[in-house]
Amino acid sequence: MTGTIPLQYFLIISTLMFFTGIYGFLTRRNLITMLMSIELILNSVNINFVAFNRFLYPDNLHGHFFSLIVIAVAAAEAAVAIAIIINIYRNFRSIDVDKVDEMKF
Amino acid sequence: MIDYTYTLLIPLIPLAVFLFTGLAGHKMNPKVSGLIGTTGLFAVTILSYLTAIRYFWTDHLHGSGYQAMKAFEIEWLHLTEKLTINLGVLLDPISVMMLIVVSTVSFMVHIYSLGYMKGERGFARFFTFLSLFSFSMLGLVLATNIFQMYIFWELVGVSSFLLIGFYYEKPSAVAASKKAFIVTRFADLGFLIGILMLSFMTDTFDFRTLVSPTGPAMLQAGSATFMGLSAITWALIFIFMGGAGKSAMFPLHIWLPDAMEGPTPVSALIHAATMVVAGVYLVARLFPVYSMVAPDALHVVAWVGGLSSLFAAIIACTQTDIKRVLAYSTMSQIGYMMLALGVSGYGGHDGLGFMAGNFHLFTHAMFKALLFLGAGAIIHAVHSNDMRDMGGLRKYLPITHITFLIACLTIAGIPPLSGFFSKDEILVAAYHHSMPLFIIEFAVAGLTAFYMFRLYYSIFWGKHTHYHHTPHEAPATMTIPLMILAFGAVFSGFLPFHELVTSDGLPFEAHINYGIAIPSVLIGVLGIVVATLMYRKETAVPAKMAGGFGSFYTWAYHKFYMDEVYLFVTKKILFNLVSRPVAWFDRHIVDGFMNLIARVIEKSSYLIKGLQSGRIQQYGYVFVTGTIVLVIIFVFIL
Amino acid sequence: MNILSLFVLVPVLTSAAIVFTKNMKQTRLVAAAGMSVQLILSAILVFMYLAERNAGNTAEMLFTYDALWFPSLNIHYAIGVDGISVAMIALTGIVVFAGIFASWNMEFLSREFFISLILLATGVFGFFISLDLFTMFLFYEIAVIPMYLLIGIWGSGPKEYSAMKLTLMLMGGSALLMVGLLGIYFYSSPDGGPLTWNLLEISKIDIPVEMQRFLFPFTFIGFGILGALFPFHTWSPDGHASAPTAVSMLHAGVLMKLGGYGAFRVAIFLMPEAAQEQAWIFLILTGISVVYGAFGAIWQKDLKYINAYSSVSHCGLVLFAVLMMNQTAFNGAILQMISHGLMTALFFALIGMIYGRTHTRMINEMGGIMKVMPFLGVVYVIAGLASLGLPGLSGFVAEMTIFFGAFQHTDFFHRFLTIMATTSIVVTAVYILRVVGILLLGPIKDEHFLHLEDAKWHERLSTITLVLAIAAIGIAPLWLSDMINVSLEPIVNKISMAGFEFTGLF
C-alpha cells in the first residue's frame, strides 16, 4: 500500500490546493468565497501533515493530531468568521471585501 | 578733613520729594505737591550755597590749590576684581560751581512753574518730574566716578524724556520726547563704549584717580594705536560723543529744537541751563586726561564746538518760533563752551580756556534761563510761540521787557554784563590757540547779537499786532524769578573765576585783553545796530535780505535739512532696509525652515499611510509576497 | 524635612487640593494660598542661605539631600542649592505668585488651568534644586509638557499650531539634551568606577576632551533651544502670542531661564574645554540673536510679538554672557536672567491686562491708554524703562555687568561682538519708545476705550510685586551680585583650569 502512491503526489495535490486557496483569497471579492479559500489552505496543510506523518514517522500520530486540531480550529474559525460576515452584512449591506475598508490609516 | 557729609542731602532731598509726590501725589491737592517740591529745592539751594561758601572761602582749602574731596562714598556694585562702581559725592571747584548753577536755576524754575503751570492738568506730575530731574542732575554733578556719572546721565535723559513729553496727548510732544531720548541714547552708546575702553585701560572709574597726574590714565599716551590715534584718544572721543549728544553738538543736535515741545520752564531748566551743559561738564571733568594724553581728542572737541556754534547761529537768524531761536542760541553758546575747553591747555594761564568755558557755562545758565523764562512769560501772555504773532509787547509786559532786554544785552557781550567777561575770555583763549576758530567765534559773536535783537525787536517793538485778549504781565511767582535771574545775569561776571575754577586748582592772573575785547564788543554792537535797522519798525528790509541770500536762506530756514537726513537714515534705511527684512527673514526663512521640516514630515506620512489601506486582500498580497521574498532570501542567498 | 523638598511638595499638595475645590473662587484662593506659601518659602530660603554663608559655610552646595530612587541606573533624588539657584528660585517664586494673581479671572476650566500652571511651576522649582542630571532632566520635562495643554486649551489665536510648534521644538531640544546627558553619564567615571548622574561628582572629574567636543553641542543646543538661541527661537513669538497671560509670564519669565541656567550649569561647567573651543560659533549665533531680536521687534505690531522678540534679544544676551566665560560675564548672565524674568513677566502681565480690556493687541488700534488707565500706563512705562536699561531698575545692572565682563576679552573678535551687543541698547530704546508712544501716549483713538477701568486690586498686587523686585535689584544690586559671585568661583576655577584661549577668528 505504501508503495502505491508516492509522497510527491500528496505534496503536489496539497501545493495545488494551497495556491488555489491563496489565489482565491487574494482575488475573490466575496467574503464567503474568501472564507472557503482559507478552508482550502487549511486543508492543504492537513494533507501535508498526514502525508509527512505517514512517510517520515509511521510509528507516531503527531501529524494526525495536528490535523484534528486544525479541523477543530477551522470549524471554530468558520463559525466566528461567518458571524463577523453576517455583522458586516448588516452594517454595510454587502459582503464585498472592497467595501469593508474602514480600518485604514 | 572738614566734614561735608551733609552734602549727601543735596541729591537725596529731591529724591525723597520725587518718591513722596510720585506715590502719594494723586491723593493730595496738586498745589501741595508743587509747594513740597519748591520747598525741597529751597533747602537744596541753601545747602548748595552753604557748601560753595564753605568750600571756596571759609574753609580755606586752597592752600595748594582747590583739591577734590570725596564727601561720601558707598559701594554699589562689583564688576570685576579691579572695577567697582561706587556712588558718592565729590566736591571740587567745578562740581561746586555746578551745584550753584543747578540749584539756583532749578529753584527759580520751581517758583516760576507755580505760576506758569497753574491750573494745568498734571500739575503734581510736573513737579514730580522736576524733582526727579533735580535729583538726577545733582547726582550727575556730584558723581565721584565716571560710571556714577553715566548712571545719572541716563536718569537725566529719562527725566528730560518725561518732561518733553509732558503734554502726552499731543502727538508732536510725544514724537519730540521720543526723538530726544533716542538721539541722546545713541550718543550714550558712544559714552558707554568710551567708558568700557577707558576703564579697561586704567582699571578705575574714579575721577580723582583718572585725572591725577601720576594716575593710570596718564600712562596710556603711547598705548596701542588704531587708525593713527592711540586707544585712549579713541576712548575719549567716544566719551565726548556722549557729551556731544547731551549737549546738542553738531551732528547730534537735532533733538534740541524739537525738545521745545516741553513746557517752557522745562526748556529753561533742562534744555538751556543744566542738562545740556552736562557734556561740557563731562569734558571739564576729564579735562586733565584730555589735555595731557589725548590732545587729538581735544582738537575734535574744539572743532565740533566751533562748527556747532556757527551752524546754530546761522539757523537761529532764520527761525520764527521764539523758543527755537533760543534753542539754537543755546546750541551755539554751548559750542562756545566746548570750544573753550578744546583750545585750553593745562595749568596756570594756559588753562584760560578751561576757566573761560566754565565761566561761560555759569553766566550762560543765568542769562539763558532768564531768556527762556521771559519767553515763557510772553507765551503765557499771547498764547503763541511764533514771533510773527507778536509785536509791541513792551507796553503790556514791562518787567518781562526789561529783564529780556538785559538778557539780550548780556548774551550779545556788552560790558559790563556777565556775558561780556566770559565770552571775552573764550575769544582770548581761541586767539592764542587757533586763528580759524577765533575767526569763527568772532563772527558768531556778531551773529548772536543780531539774532537776539531780531528776536527782541520782533517781540517787543515792530508792528502793532492786534491781540484778541489784551496781554497782561505775568503773576509775581513768575516775575520774581525773572528779576533774580536778571540780577545774576548782570553781576555774575564779576565773580573771580580765575581764582576759583581753574584747570589745576591754582589761581592765576587774568585781565581783559583790550586788543580782543574792543573788536568783540564792536561786532556785538554792529549786530545790534543791524537788527535795530531791520526790525525796530516793520520794514521790507528783512524780506529783501532773505531774498538776497537766496537758497542759502532757504537752507538755513530748513535747518540745513538735518532732520530730513536723519529721517532718511532711520525711517528709510534702518526701518525699511534693516528692521523690515529682519522681521521678514524671521517669519519666512527661519520660521519657514521650521515649518518646512514640519511639512516634510507631514507629507511623508501622507505617502506612507497609503500602505494602511484597510483592504484585506492588499495586505494578503503584501504578506504572500513578503513570505516568498524571505523564502528566496533564506534559501538561495543565505 | 529638607527645606528644598518643600519647594516640590508644596505645589504638588496645592494641585492636589485644587482637585477638591468646587468653583473658581475656591480654586483661585487655594492656588493663591499655595503660591504665597511658596513665595514666603523662597524668601526664607534666601535668608537661610545668606545666614548659612555668613556663618562661614563654604560648601559648594547647601541644604543638600540625597536619596537613591532608581538603583540600576544610579539615579538619585539629589538636591542642593548655591547662590545662583537660590536667586533663580526666588525669581520663580515671585513670577509664579504674580502669575496666579494675573490670571485671577480665569473662568474656563479654572481647576484644570491652575493645576497645569502649578505643575509647570513644580517642574521649574524641581529643576533649580536638582543636583542629579537625570532628575534635573525629569523636572525639565515636567515643566515643558503642561505648556502644551496650557497653550492648546486656554490660548488664543492659532493656539493649536503654536502649542504644537512650541512643544515639538522644545521636545526636539530635549532629545538633543538627552543625548548629551547620556553621554556625560557614560563618561562620568573615567577610571571604571560606578557611573553617576551627580553634577558635583562629575564636575570633579574631566570628561575626555574628544567626547566633550561631541557632547557639548548637543547639550548646549538642547538647552539653547529653550533659551531662544538663534535660529531655534521661532517657537517663542508664536508660543508667547498664543499663550494665556500667566503662561506667557511663566514661560518667558522662568521657563526660558531653564535654558540659560542649564547651558551654564551643565554644558559649560561640565565640559569647559569643549566650551572654550566651540564658544565662538555660539557667540556669533547669540550675538546675532541680540541684535536681530531687537531689530525684529521694531517692525512688529502685536504687543506680544514685540515682547517675544525683545525676549529673544535679552535671552540672547544671557547666552552671550555665558559664553564669554569669565566671572563678571557669568554674574551678568545670572543677573540678566533674573532681571529679564521679572520684567518680561511684568510686560506679559500688563499686555494681558490691556488685552482683557481693549480686546486687541495691535498697537496701531490703540492709543492714549495712559489717560484712561493711568496705573497700567505708568507700570508699562516702568517696565519699558527697565527693559531699555534705565539705571535704578534691574536691566541696567545686568546689562552693564555683561558688557564689562565681555569687554575683559582683549581680542578683536570678542571686542567686536561686545560692541555689537551694546548697540542693542539703542535699538531697544527705539522699539520700547515706539510702543510707549503709540500705545500709551497721544490722543485716544477709540472712544470705546473711554469707559475702560484701571487695574483692579489683584492686578495691582501682581504688577506691584514685580515692580518692587525690579526696583530693588536696580537700586541695591550688591547683595545679589555678591551672592552669585561667591557661588561662581568653583565654576570659574574649573574653566580657568581648562585653559584654552580663543584668540580670534579674524
Q: Summarize pLDDT for B231-255 with one digit per residue, the tens.
A: 888 888 899 998 888 888 888 888 8
Interchain CB distance below 8 Å, B152 and C385: no
Distances (CA, A) of A83 to A35, A89, B210, B291, C283: 12, 10, 100, 106, 70
Domain containing C476: what range? 3-497
pTM recorded for the entire structure = 0.87
Residue A104 contacts B, CB cutoff 8 Å = yes
Of B612, B613, B620, which has the smallest distance from its Cβ to A25's Cβ? B620
Average pLDDT of the residues in B168-191: 87
Contacts of A104 in chain B (CB under 8 A): 612-615
Number of domains comprising chain A: 1
C-chain residue closest to B596, CA distance: C165
Give the distance from residue B277's alpha carbon to the nearest chain C alpha carbon, in angstroms: 21
Q: Which residues contact A66 (CB under 8 A, 6 or more apart)?
A: A49
Q: Grade residue C213 by pLDDT with cuts at 50, 70 and 90.
A: confident
In a domain, C403, yes or no: yes
Rounded-to-integer distance, Cα C246 and Cα C240, Å: 10
CA distance C348 to B552: 52
Question: Please, which residues have CB within 8 angstroms of residue B155's CB and are 6 or more apart in sequence?
Answer: B132, B135, B136, B139, B140, C390, C391, C392
Chains B and C, touching by 3 or more CB pairs within 8 angstroms: yes
- In this structure, are residues B4 and B80 in contact, taking their beta carbons and an 8 Å threshold? no
In a domain, residue C505? The reply is: no
Interface contact B168-C370, CB threshold 8 A: yes
- Nearest C-alpha of chain A: how many angstroms from B592? 28
Question: Does the pLDDT value for residue B268 go beyond 80?
Answer: yes
Query: What is the structure's pLDDT at B315?
Result: 86
Q: Do chains C and A touch (3 or more CB pairs under 8 A)?
A: no
Surface of A (14-33) touching B: CB under 8 A: 22, 25-27
Tell me the average pLDDT across A76-81. 93
* Residue in chain B nearest C406 by alpha carbon: B196
Whether residue A80 is contained in a domain is answered as: yes
Quote the cell numbers at residue C262. Answer: 542649564
Determine the pLDDT at residue C335.
Answer: 92
% of chain B at pLDDT higher than 90: 5
Which residue is closest to B589 within chain C, CA to CA?
A: C231
User: B79 and C400 in contact by Cβ < 8 A?
Assistant: yes
Q: What percent of chain B has pLDDT over 70?
A: 95
Q: Domain containing A85: what range?
A: 30-92
Closest Cα in chain B to A25: B617
In this predicted structure, the answer to whether residue B201 has a pLDDT above a threshold of 80 is yes
Determine contact: A97 vs chain B, CB below 8 A: yes
Chain C closest CA to B316's CA: distance in Å? Answer: 29
Taking contacts as CB-CB distances below 8 angstroms, the residues of chain B near C316 are none
Chain B closest-CA separation from residue C482 CA (Å)? 8
Q: Which residue of B has its CA nearest to C433?
A: B178
Is A98 in Cβ contact with B615 (below 8 Å)?
A: yes
State the angle between helix axes of C412-435 and C303-324 in degrees (0 to 180), rounded to the nearest 10.
Answer: 160
- Is the CB of A81 inside 8 Å of chain B's CB atoms? no
> How many domains does chain C contain in total?
1
Write out chain A residues lying below 8 Å of B607, CB-based: none
Per-residue confidence (pLDDT) for residue C506, from 0 to 100 = 46
Provide the shortest C-alpha distance from residue A6 to chain B (in Å): 25
CA atoms of C19 and B636, how far apart (whole Å) = 65
Residue B632: what pLDDT?
A: 92
- Joined together, the cell numbers standing for residue C479 give 547683595
Using DSSP's 3-state secondary structure scheme, residue B229 falls into strand
Let me know if residue A66 belongs to a domain: yes
CB contact under 8 A, C405 and B586: no
Q: Which residue of B has its CA nearest to C295?
A: B579
Q: Is the pLDDT of residue B62 over 70?
A: no
Q: Strand pairing partners for A96? A: A30
Q: What does DSSP say about strands C62-70 and C75-81: parallel, antiparallel, or unpaired?
A: antiparallel
Distance of alpha carbon C167 from alpha carbon C161, whole angstroms: 10
Q: Is the peptide bond before B416 cis (omega within 30 degrees of 0)?
A: yes
Residue C504 lies inside a defined structural domain of this protein: no
Sign of CA dihedral C121, C122, C128, C132: negative
Greatest extent of chain B over all pairs of C-alpha atoms, in Å: 122
Per the domain annotation, does C350 fall within a domain?
Answer: yes
**How does B309-345 read in b/e, with b if 16+ C-beta sit within 10 Å?**
bbbbbbbbbbbbbbbbbbbbbbbbbbbbbbbbbbbbb
Asked if residue A25 is part of any domain, the answer here is no
Amino acid at C129: I
C123 within some domain: yes
Report, in angstroms and rounded to the nearest whole number, the Rg of chain C calculated over CA atoms. 22
pLDDT confidence of residue B289 = 85
Strand pairing report for B84-91 and B69-78? antiparallel
> Does C506 map to a domain?
no
C-alpha cell at B595: 515649518
Say whether C404 and B575 touch across the interface (CB within 8 A): no
Q: What is the pLDDT of residues C117-140, one digit of tens each?
A: 889 999 999 999 998 989 999 999
Residue C503 lies in a domain: no
Most confident of B546-555, C257-266, C491-500: C257-266
Are the beta carbons of C298 and B575 separated by less than 8 Å? yes
Tens digits of per-residue pLDDT, A5-29? Answer: 888 899 999 999 999 999 999 888 8
Residue A70: pLDDT over 80: yes
Element (H, E) at B75: strand B69-78
Residue among C309, C403, C429 minimizing CB distance to B181? C429
H or E element that contains C8? helix C3-19
Q: How confident is the model at residue A73 (pLDDT cuts 50, 70, 90)?
A: very high
> What pLDDT score does C499 carry?
65
- Would you call A26 and B616 a contact, using CB atoms and an 8 Å cutoff? no
> Mean pLDDT of all residues in chain C?
86
**Alpha helical stretches, state H, B255-321:** 255-258, 264-268, 278-285, 287-293, 295-316
Q: What is the ipTM of this complex?
A: 0.90
Mutation for C interface: B196, B580, B597, most C CBs within 10 A: B196
Lowest mean pLDDT of A41-50, B134-143, B210-219, name the range. Answer: B210-219
Instruction: Find the closest chain C residue to B203 by CA distance.
Output: C408
Is a pLDDT exceeding 60 seen at residue C504?
A: no
Which residues in chain B have their CB less than 8 angstroms from residue A34's CB? Answer: 616-617
Of B312-321, B357-366, B574-583, C27-36, minimum mean pLDDT range: B574-583
Judged against a pLDDT cut of 90, whether residue A83 lies above it is answered with yes
More confident residue, B149 or B460: B149
Subunit contact A100:B613, Cβ cutoff 8 A = no
